[in-house]
Amino acid sequence: MIRNAIIFGGLIMLLAAVMNAGANWLESQPSAPNQKFAVVDRYNNCDVVRYTPTNAARYFYFLDCKK
């Protein structure tokens, strides 16, 4: 009975460690550039670009004027 509980607990801990390693691997992958920058509008002869930093709750906007 106790042996079964120890084996079951070990399996649960092993599963949690594998899931944690998988989550860390996904977070370390670089994000695609098209997710960070998006042209959202035009102003005169410029593109209005929205920049979204990783893990940020706000956007930053700037003008991209090609001359």
Whether 3 and 24 share a structural domain: yes
Whether 36 and 51 share a structural domain: yes
pLDDT, residue 7, reads 92
Structure token digits, residue 41: 């509008």
Whether 41 and 61 share a structural domain: yes
In this prediction, residue 64 has a pLDDT band, given cuts at 50, 70 and 90, of: very high
- Mean of pLDDT values over 32-61: 85
Whether 17 and 36 share a structural domain: no
Whether 23 and 49 share a structural domain: no
For residues 8, 10, 11 and 15, what is the CA-based torsion angle, rounded to 10 degrees?
A: 140
pLDDT, residue 29, reads 58
- Rounded CA gap, 40 and 59, in Å? 12
Query: In terms of pLDDT, which residue wins out, 2 or 19?
Result: 2
- Mean of pLDDT values over 6-25: 80
Q: Domain span at residue 58?
A: 31-67
Whether 15 and 43 share a structural domain: no
pTM here is: 0.46
- The phi and psi torsions of 57 (rounded to 5 degrees) equal -105, 20
